[in-house]
Chain A
Amino acid sequence: MQSNRLGWILLAPTLVILFAFGVLPFVYVLWVSFHQWNPFAVDPTMVFNGADNFRKIVFDADFLNSVGVTVMFVFFAVISELIVGYFLAQAFMREFPGKAFFRTIHTLPLIMAPIIVGSVWKLMMTPSIGIIPHYMQQWFGISVNIGTSPFAAFTTIIIMDIWHWTPLVTLTLIAALVSLPADPFEQAQIDGANKRQIFWHITLPMIAPAVVATVFIRLMDALRTVDEVWMLTGGGPGSATRFVGVHIFKEVFPKTNYGYGSTISVVVLYLTIVVCWLLYVTMLAPRNTKKG
């Protein structure tokens, strides 16, 4: 009992902070989402409008487009980061000259703020002064302009995200790979399993919890990507890179559409939870059930 009470006392500051800065704001956003509220409207007060905002969102082409663009971005970015991150992790598991140096270099993008990453890539991608369009033109004869080509803008953002966040995946997977016991691998080799069989039947199942945790983190981060995109394209050209985070920002801040912007935030949070839950159920729950 004494230990239990002490535990709660020690936890109390954290719980208070979480409640004040996590739960209360969420409840407030939820409350606002059921209102029409724009402080620059003729009537600047909050007016309760029931589920109207939620009804409107279903027919909001701009929002649906932003969700579509975001889902595509998340899919390509996270999958790519997982694959590249795994191979890099495997590479870093082996010894080679300059390993420590490369590992440090490889981790550097992680410590850069997203807004800086966006700025640097903007400089690299601006026609006439950017190094990437310059060499793409000089070496391959390809004209790259993220101001006019939706494909170029979208692809650049995916590459930028991969460059920025793959090190996180690599580090997580290195930690998982290092902790694997040697016995199952030795046993599999004795039994004649090839590399592909070892990967699918031993390595992957054993690192699955780490993979899922990494995917969760990257998925949630990618779904709320704003800073880098804001700096690089501003959501353009057109609405080609108007991800849902950018859409919410524009709705809530410049448009000061607090009510509807809150509704979008709540719906996006709900979608994020559903996606993560689906991932959990498909990748980890069967494994846990078998254990039970």
Chain B
Amino acid sequence: MTYTRVNITEQAKNVLQELKAKHGEVIFHQSGGCCDGSSPMLLPKEDFYIDESDIFMGEIGGVKFYMNEAQFEYWKHTHLTVDVTQGRGSSFSLEIPEGYRFMIKSRLLTKEEEVHFNQ
């Protein structure tokens, strides 16, 4: 049985593939805070400084998904699915000019997932 912390919907994957074709290597970093916070940001891989304080949560659609460790503490009991909706967020996330916004759908980890990841 393989477990994941993060997944992606088909629709979001399609948008992601288009953006990869346009921008090259990219990463997701989960944001927090004001305005467009609490949303995943898609950024050029070379743009954003990732270090050991960023938790690697998994790879979706060939793109690595990270979250800062402080935020992860509060999110670690939830499973995330990256979805996409129409709309115009602000922020520097790469999908915004296309009129889409990636967003997070969450659920609690199942008992088995909880044991696998957190115990």
A is bound by B = no
Measuring CB to CB, which residues of chain A are less than 8 angstroms from any residue of chain B?
A: none
